[in-house]
Amino acid sequence: MSHKHAVRNAITSVVMAGSIATAAADETSIRLTEGPGLPQVQASCSMCHSLDYILMNSPFQDKAAWEKTVNKMVKVMGAPLTAEDIATVVGYLDSHYGKEPAPASP
Ligand code: HEC
Distance CA 42, CA 60 (A): 21
Count of C-beta atoms within a 10 Å radius of residue 50 = 19
Distance CA 99, CA 60 (A): 5
Domain topology for 28-97:
Cytochrome Bc1 Complex; Chain D, domain 2 (1.10.760)
Please give the pLDDT value at position 9. Answer: 60
Decide whether any atom of ligand 1 lies within 6 Å of the 3 Cβ. Answer: yes
Give yes or no for residue 50 having a pLDDT over 80: yes
**Which of the residue ranges 52-56, 71-75, 93-97, 100-104 would you say has the lowest mean pLDDT?**
100-104
Domain boundaries, given as residue ranges, for the chain: 28-97
Distance CA 76, CA 100 (A): 27
Query: Which residue lies with its CA nearest to atom 4 of ligand 1?
Result: 79
The pTM for the full model equals 0.77
Give 25-36 pLDDT, tens digit per residue: 555 445 799 999
Kindly report the backbone phi and psi dihedral angles of residue 32, in degrees, each rounded to the nearest multiple of 5, phi listed first: -95, 150
Q: How far is the CA of 67 from the centre of ligand 1 (A)?
A: 12
